[in-house]
Structure 1
């Protein structure tokens, strides 16, 4: 698997994705420069919203997220993967369970827990090695939560802000589900159903969850 193919979810041949990546589609930039600049574009141009969860396959296509102004970690990771593949840079989805410690009041109110699952991030292949990058938390949100925005330099993993600016714990990874060749839609839906059974039952038969 070369992790360069366009798929149903990573549909980089679409006009929406081509419009995003056209400014980076030049020989004057190295793959590392393309990856780091794309990371910032996806991180900051789509607001992080964990309270809107789609329950249909169509809504997990990269082109779908490209047309929106916000998305949760899965949406933004899918978008970044499609953009990277569209520029010939291997990328794949990586899933985990995480626990937030900052700004969790609304999370606990809506989800009944400060654990978020599945949390989506990106594996990108640069200079002969796989790196982890998480484009979920946009800069404006990080500043609001007193957390430094998560940077990606194309040389080392960039998974989470372990501490806020005051030294408190911001986020921790509590379970690693590994990487996948394509978006594992059924796994994601089953994971949501298992961890948020009451919410899932409340919205069963609908196309989305809005909390």
Structure 2
């Protein structure tokens, strides 16, 4: 299990920001289950669903941004878990970009790859690997978009969500796997020890022109997502 506890360039949990967060929240005094729940809940609801400058940014940068998507939230969650002595790994996929419609619109959606690189964290708990994909979407955002999801292929998708049944979405971690985009998976890319290993092979922003365009537009996208959250 030592492999699943190491720090890396992206899993930089020895930085002062991450160490300070763990000390301030007193997470080291919790038992294993409580540690996983605390890190998961923090990344899910205190790091808002949004878009960063790239997939391959460090955990400390995601923490400073205060928002993230599937790949970057997975990096931060993994860093927190490893800092707390909890073994974890990353599982990679391609997913259908249709589930991003609503979160991404116009030219941003048009230029998004048809198959989007996607990842979730898997944590080792109770002698089994558990998927924590539900960490991607925060409650405030989910509550505003749940009824806007479109019926597609016997499921529901849109706004960064893809589920079989929109009435049975449960993202609270209770010792079992949580899912929020898995209904859109089109290809399993396998298991990786770290996000560094995964993103060197698969990356949504490795096309320079598309990357520059996305970075020009992403702040506007994130403002739009905040407006969705605040919609009454």
Q: TM-score, normalised by structure 1?
A: 0.77
After TM superposition, give the deviation of residue 33 of structure 1 in Å: 1.5
Q: Which runs of 5+ in 1 are unaligned?
A: 163-170
Inter-CA distance 174–209: structure 2 relative to 1 (3 Å threshold): farther
Among 170, 178, 185, the residue aligned to 1:173: 185
After TM superposition, give the deviation of residue 88 of structure 1 in Å: 0.3
Q: Match for residue 123 of structure 2?
A: 124
Q: Match for residue 75 of structure 2?
A: 78
CA contact (8 A) 2:136 2:180 kept: no
Q: TM-score, normalised by structure 2?
A: 0.70
Following the alignment from structure 1 to structure 2, what is the Cα–Cα distance between the partners of residues 137 and 70? 10
After TM superposition, give the deviation of residue 99 of structure 1 in Å: 3.4
**RMSD value over aligned CA atoms?**
2.8
CA contact (8 A) 1:103 1:145 kept: no
Among 203, 213, 217, the residue aligned to 1:210: 217
Following the alignment from structure 1 to structure 2, what is the Cα–Cα distance between the partners of residues 174 and 72? 18
Number of aligned residue pairs: give it.
189
Any idea what SS the aligned residue of 2:73 has? helix
Q: Match for residue 30 of structure 1?
A: 31
Following the alignment from structure 2 to structure 1, what is the Cα–Cα distance between the partners of residues 190 and 21? 28
CA contact (8 A) 2:170 2:178 kept: no
Q: Deviations over 1:124-158 (max 9, x none)?
A: 0011111110111111111111254522222x221
After TM superposition, give the deviation of residue 114 of structure 1 in Å: 8.9
After TM superposition, give the deviation of residue 160 of structure 1 in Å: 2.2
Q: Which runs of 5+ in 2 are unaligned?
A: 147-165, 219-232
After TM superposition, give the deviation of residue 70 of structure 1 in Å: 1.1
CA contact (8 A) 2:92 2:189 kept: yes
CA contact (8 A) 2:59 2:72 kept: yes
Following the alignment from structure 1 to structure 2, what is the Cα–Cα distance between the partners of residues 111 and 152? 31
Any idea what SS the aligned residue of 1:54 has? coil
CA contact (8 A) 1:53 1:209 kept: no
Following the alignment from structure 2 to structure 1, what is the Cα–Cα distance between the partners of residues 128 and 46? 27
